[in-house]
Amino acid sequence: MRWFDAGVNLLDARLDPDAVIRASVEAGVDKLCVITTQPKEWALAAKLCRQFPEHLCFTVGIHPHCAKLATDHDLSQLKHFIRQPGAVAIGECGLDFNRNFSPPDVQVAVFKAQLAIAVEMNMPVYLHERDAFDTQMECLMPVADKLVGGIAHCFTSDAESMHAYVDVGLDIGVTGWICDPQRGEALREAVLSLPLERLVLETDAPYLYPKTRKPRQRHNQPACLPFIGQQISELTGIPPAIISQRSYANTLRLFQLA
């Protein structure tokens, strides 16, 4: 089976790109999307993709935590980097009202600016949201029919929120959160009604280690992705091979690689 990890924080100092990619390929995870969250990461991600073009693609975006630092020049540079080989989505962008590392009004302004660029550049959006669902939807609705697509990255909420995202044309990114019977209860129930054509798998490594994988390692990595697929298979009754095939194809379509 082949797997595509749609979200890896491969620039995190806890991950060694060479070792991570080697272990991933050995586990059947032959494609990874490198997440960026701020301008200083964009050139690094582009360089990594030039080193491993067969296995890597990357996002270009400004995370809501970093919104207060964003400048007009950064947004201009975003347009430059999204044209680089391997760039597949604008993000990680969105809203995070949980800790408000950036003021909410600034988050909204920077998010809307990135949505506008996504429409202009005909690129999908890579969305982050925490405790800000209603406002995030208010930002999305005016441009939803103009976007080529996007992903609700690291989705952890309930079926109602999931279907609201699906209804505006988004894919749902499922992580190792689904392997946690306690914290992941809402997600485990929601995935039962998720259309298979909207399922995308991601690890969000080095975070969200799937609890079903034993023995536990210190950090999550893309090689753990098949355990997420296996958990979804056990919950839904869909064979792992179908989960692999459909999620892989969905991710290629999402990132316009197919």
Residues annotated within the binding site for a divalent metal cation are: 92, 128, 153, 204
CA atoms within 13 A on the CB side of 27: 21
Q: What letter does residue 12 receive in the DSSP assignment? A: S
Residue 235 burial (C-beta neighbours within 10 Å; 0-12, 13-18, 19+): middle
Would you state the structure tokens that stand for residue 110, as one six-digit string? 């920077």
Rounded to whole angstroms, how far apart are CA atoms 176 and 208? 5
Q: Where is the binding site, in residues?
A: 92, 128, 153, 204
Question: 3-class DSSP state for residue 193?
Answer: helix
Vertex 48: Cα angle to 45 and 52 (nearest 5): 135
DSSP state string for 156-182: -S-HHHHHHHHHTTEEEEE-GGGG-TT
